Amino acid sequence: MSYIKPQFRHPQLPANERGFTRTAYEGLISTLCAGCGHDSISAAIIQACWELSLEPHRIAKVSGIGCSSKSPTYFLNKSHGFNSVHGRMPSVATGAYAANHELTYIGVSGDGDSASIGMGQFAHVVRRNINMLYMVENNGCYGLTKGQDSATADEGSKSRTGQINPFENIDLVGVALEIGATFVARSFSGDKQQLVPLIKAAIAHRGFALIDVISPCVTFNNHHGSTKSYDYTREHVQAGNIVDFVPSETEITANYEEGASHNVALHDGSRLNLVKTTTDYDPGDRRNAIAALQDSRANNQILTGLIYIDPEEPDFHQMMKIANTPLNKIEMSTLCPGTSTLTDINQSLK
């Protein structure tokens, strides 16, 4: 059951550049468990879209199946959404993007949805560099089916029933880096300060942008011994680098203490200011990124932040040389070759 939110709002809510208040980006009331990390991520998406002044109806939300995949109902009520089948969101997003490259695509998936049943499609959507934000709401378990370990559960992590996971985990960040993703980030649902600008950067990035967000499942995977609990995550988070998203016109003030900053220009004219907190980190160097990830693993830490970005690699639409007019907008009269061409074709088949 879901409720429609009361429409009454304080009239003085701040509006963004396009005149929208945050309300315009909200969704139905969440039916997830109180405290679920996924709800914080929804809030961050709402915030980021509002800050970016996107037109809500020009966004398309796609997801698979799971608690995480339900969450697109809880943000952006004015956007079309597609809650597809388990593990197959990447292909649905790919088809949608092929049909119309002008919308903003937000994909939401879970760790089960992406790293188990969806592992194949995940790898291939990376390879195709579909222009989308691909959000993995990673809780190391299958929330909706009551807490079984997923493939991102860490080796040695303890399940709620006390069993120790004997398998190596699949780190989607590592896999994405290995197979050539052009934007790779990790964050924590509990760190809105980091997550919101990351989402903005991911949306602005032309190409596939992965954000793997540790998003604790309070009901099934938030106990002592779990390596995806709020406590564990807070203790082991390593804020690799923090990003300030600077839209094409204005320059916003960083919320973080500034260190030496690293600048990345995106194709829409916006920029990312990287505020290095720990190391002299260059997210433009894939080998570097891989090494940093390895380091953090060796130190039992969770590397977060913008880990890698390549703003230059052509995205799917460019690689495939698809027309600038979205394919779903081209008139039948243009697409259909007509009678005289068919006469020629018949002739060639005589």
Partner 1 sequence: MQKPKIDAVNDFVVKFANVNGSGSASANTLFAKSIFRSGVPVAPRNIFPSNIQGLPTWYEVRVSEQGYLAKRAGGVDLMVSVNPQSLLDDVQEVRTGGYFLYDDTRPLDIRAIRKDINYLGVPLTEITNREYEDARLRQLFKNVIYIGALAALLDIELSVYDKLIEEQFAKKPKLVKPNCDALRLGYDAAKERFDCPLPVRVEQRDLVDGKIMMTGNSACGLGAVYAGATVAAWYPITPSTSVAEAFEKYASQLRYDAEKDEKNYVVIQAEDELAAFGMVIGANWNGARAFTATSGPGVSLMTEFLGLAYFAEVPAVLIDVQRAGPSTGMPTRTQQGDILSCVYASHGDTRHVCLFPADPKECFELTVAAFDAAERLQTPIILLTDLDVGMNDCLCDDLEWSDSYQHDRGKVMDADQLEALEKFGRYRDIDGDFIPYRTLPGTHPEKGAFFTRGTSRDEDAIYTEKGDAYQRNMERLLAKWFSAPDYLPAPKIVTASDSSEIGIIHYGTSRDAVTEAVDQLSADGIAADTLQIMAIPFHDAVRKFIDSHEYVFVVDQNRDAQMRTVLINELDCDPAKLRSVLHYDGTPLSADAVLTWLRPNIPGLAEQSRME
Ligand X SMILES: Cc1ncc(C[n+]2csc(CCOP(=O)(O)OP(=O)(O)O)c2C)c(N)n1
Q: What is the contact surface with ligand X in residues (CB under 6 A)?
A: 65-68, 86, 110-113, 137, 139, 141-145, 150, 217
In a 13 Å sphere around the CA of 7, the CA atoms on its Cβ side amount to 1
**Residue 78 interaction partner, one of ligand X, ligand SF4, partner 1, none, beta carbon < 5-8 Å per kind:** partner 1
**Residue 139 interaction partner, one of its own copies, Mg ion, partner 1, none, beta carbon < 5-8 Å per kind:** Mg ion
**Residue 65 interaction partner, one of ligand SF4, ligand X, its own copies, none, beta carbon < 5-8 Å per kind:** ligand X
By CB under 5 A, residue 165 contacts Mg ion = no
Burial status of residue 119 (CB atoms within 10 A of its CB: 0-12, 13-18, 19 or more) = middle
Residue window 255-294: x/- pattern of binding to Mg ion, with contact defined by CB under 5 A:
----------------------------------------
> Shortest Cβ distance from residue 139 to Mg ion (Å)?
4
**Residue 55 interaction partner, one of ligand SF4, Mg ion, its own copies, none, beta carbon < 5-8 Å per kind:** none
Compute the distance between CA of residue 103 and CA of residue 82 in angstroms, rounded to an integer: 14
Compare residues 26 and 111 and give the one whose CB is closer to Mg ion: 111
By CB under 6 A, residue 33 contacts ligand SF4 = yes
User: Under a CB-based contact definition with an 8 Å cutoff, are residues 53 and 18 in contact?
Assistant: yes
> Shortest Cβ distance from residue 112 to Mg ion (Å)?
5
Compute the distance between CA of residue 274 and CA of residue 282 in angstroms, rounded to an integer: 9
SS3 65: coil
User: Under a CB-based contact definition with an 8 Å cutoff, are residues 163 and 153 in contact?
Assistant: no
Which residue in the set 116, 221, 229, 296 belongs to the binding site for partner 1 (CB under 8 A)?
A: 116
Compute the distance between CA of residue 252 and CA of residue 298 in angstroms, rounded to an integer: 35
Q: Two tokens at 267?
A: 């194709």
Please count the residues of this chain forming the interface with partner 1, following the rule CB under 8 A: 79
Residue nearest to ligand X (CB): 110
Cα angle, residue 334 at apex, residues 331 and 339 outer, rounded to 5°: 125
Q: Two tokens at 194?
A: 């980091």
Compute the distance between CA of residue 175 and CA of residue 180 in angstroms, rounded to an integer: 9
Total Cβ atoms within 10 A of residue 263: 9
Number of residues that this document lists for the chain: 350
By CB under 5 A, residue 111 contacts Mg ion = yes
Q: Which residues bind ligand SF4 (CB under 6 A)?
A: 32-33, 36, 38, 67, 139, 143-144, 217-220
Q: Which residues bind its own copies (CB under 8 A)?
A: 116-121, 123-124, 127-129, 151, 166-168, 170-171, 174-175, 177-180, 286-287, 290-291, 294, 298, 314, 319-320
